[in-house]
Structure 1
């Protein structure tokens, strides 16, 4: 529940802030009459995300085991790619999101194509919704406890909706830069775990060589798949199932937070280490760079901002202005 709650909270808050910016800007322009079109786009994006989740969940039952593993592993890879892209997109676009969204609204209103607002609302939420659906589906497949995982995601989304509404009303001030920095770092670890599980699925299906294929080295004494350095690169890197039962609460917590499984192949470990090392390094390097650039720009062009608004990206306080 913890992992899926945080994912639902982060992704839901991103969508809530975008919708808040759009709704506040339309209200400021005095065009509340077109707000229903925005809500139509938002609702359509939510329905699409739910339909994708339903197809992934129920459609797999008619497939063979190998086909299920191939589809599951491939979609997990897609989820990792989308999460990685969104992490860096939020870092890059957060400071200009307000101007970009308002520009899209202005163009839709000026052209008279008011149904363009439906498309704006749809794209703004569908991007987060599809990413969340794929990520949650991949995590549910690896956890094996769908009800609790989905409950955590639902609570996270509801909390995000409540926070987004309170921020728009000016009732809550949240340091979004710190929030997205911490949750972004958490998503890097989660995505690494999903990547490791995708490798596991594809190894089970025989797409990648590993412990489930003839490429696996065998222990000379037991005849089982070898474990440790002697099993590199297609055997088990480690096997601690005797100490941490695969179905235990500890195993579930470790897998949900850091992507650890009691038994992991060398390809899984290598993929996890490379992803965290490369993506994590770039993420934290970029996180420090915008802060220094922002401070320089502010000192040269405007008076120092107040402590209440300085830490947050531009879209963090825009809904407050619209509400006032």
Structure 2
């Protein structure tokens, strides 16, 4: 449930940021106000694309056998992990220039009186966040539906969206509570932890399918100290991939994941920053 609320919250805030930037820019001039219907049309079209993707996934999952669904959930968890990491690195690289790029793109469309271009720009931005949300949450939603928890998942999603609206309002106050930069720094860390959890879920499914070996199972057992099925241990399992009784495969993959994250973080730094770090050790 917590994963659902968090993902919907974070992705909704990012979509609201894009829409909010364009809304503020369009509202600032009489010419821009003519594009308001196209802005909201782009939002609606983006949401429809995300819903269509969800329906496709729903249809695919109903056609699959039990083994097929196990493979589907494994693949979705691994794809979601990759998308989370890609999104974090993309925002790290493009976040500082996102506003100027959006405004320049919208301005070019306005000068050409090309409102369809504005609609497509917004549609792609909203559909991107919506489709990522569908991919991230599909395995969780499918498991919850099997446990008759669909209404709880829906409530968590609604709660996450309402929290996103509140967060967006607070951030729009001008940094009196928390700045956009600090918000993205904090959520980047949380998203990378969540990506690690998705990776471990994918490995769980592959081990269950006997598609990969465990080698040693378990390597250790910390269940007596921190059980991963309840309390804080369950939260760490859901958000950070903690396992009380991991196999050697889990340990190796988890270590390689964080090593890769460290390398990607280093490579994503501006060239001047990398040179300074290398010079001063």
- Is 1:275 the equivalent of 2:257? yes
Structure 2 distance, partners of 1:247, 1:97, is: 40
Structure 2 distance, partners of 1:74, 1:119, is: 30
Name the residue aligned to 1:210: 213
Does the C-alpha gap of structure 1 residues 171 and 260 become closer, same or farther in structure 2, counting only changes over 3 Å?
closer
Does the C-alpha gap of structure 1 residues 246 and 51 become closer, same or farther in structure 2, counting only changes over 3 Å?
farther
Name the residue aligned to 2:16: 16
Name the residue aligned to 1:107: 108
Post-superposition offset of 1:140 = 4.0
Does the C-alpha gap of structure 1 residues 44 and 34 become closer, same or farther in structure 2, counting only changes over 3 Å?
same
Name the residue aligned to 1:192: 196
Structure 1 distance, partners of 2:141, 2:262, is: 24
Structure 2 distance, partners of 1:241, 1:147, is: 30
The answer to whether the Cα contact below 8 Å between 1:10 and 1:180 also exists between their aligned partners in 2 is no
Name the residue aligned to 2:28: 28
Does the C-alpha gap of structure 1 residues 240 and 140 become closer, same or farther in structure 2, counting only changes over 3 Å?
farther
Name the residue aligned to 1:156: 160
Structure 1 distance, partners of 2:209, 2:44, is: 37
| Stretch of structure 1 that moved more, 25-34 or 122-131 | 25-34
Name the residue aligned to 1:180: 184
Structure 1 distance, partners of 2:74, 2:234, is: 19
Name the residue aligned to 1:64: 65
Coordinate RMSD, CA, aligned: 3.0
Q: State the SS of the aligned residue for 1:264.
A: coil
Post-superposition offset of 1:112 = 2.8
The answer to whether the Cα contact below 8 Å between 2:193 and 2:239 also exists between their aligned partners in 1 is yes
Post-superposition offset of 1:110 = 2.4
| Stretch of structure 1 that moved more, 38-47 or 48-57 | 48-57
Structure 2 distance, partners of 1:172, 1:40, is: 32
Structure 1 distance, partners of 2:95, 2:116, is: 26
Show CA shifts across 1:127-170 (max 9, x none): 11111221122344567655444433331222212332454576
The answer to whether the Cα contact below 8 Å between 1:66 and 1:204 also exists between their aligned partners in 2 is no
Structure 2 distance, partners of 1:142, 1:275, is: 25
Q: State the SS of the aligned residue for 2:12.
A: helix
The answer to whether the Cα contact below 8 Å between 2:43 and 2:123 also exists between their aligned partners in 1 is yes
The answer to whether the Cα contact below 8 Å between 1:196 and 1:269 also exists between their aligned partners in 2 is no
Name the residue aligned to 1:266: 248
| Stretch of structure 1 that moved more, 155-164 or 170-179 | 170-179
Show CA shifts across 1:162-200 (max 9, x none): 332454576965312111111101111110110111122
Which stretches in structure 2 are left out of the alignment for 5+ residues?
274-281
Alignment of structure 1 residues 120-139 onto 2, 5 Å = 120-139=121-140
Post-superposition offset of 1:274 = 1.5
Does the C-alpha gap of structure 1 residues 71 and 13 become closer, same or farther in structure 2, counting only changes over 3 Å?
same
Name the residue aligned to 1:296: none
Q: How many corresponding residue pairs?
A: 268
Q: State the SS of the aligned residue for 1:21.
A: helix
Q: State the SS of the aligned residue for 1:237.
A: coil
Name the residue aligned to 1:223: none
- Normalised to the residue count of structure 1, the TM-score between the two structures is 0.72
- Normalised to the residue count of structure 2, the TM-score between the two structures is 0.81
Does the C-alpha gap of structure 1 residues 168 and 242 become closer, same or farther in structure 2, counting only changes over 3 Å?
closer
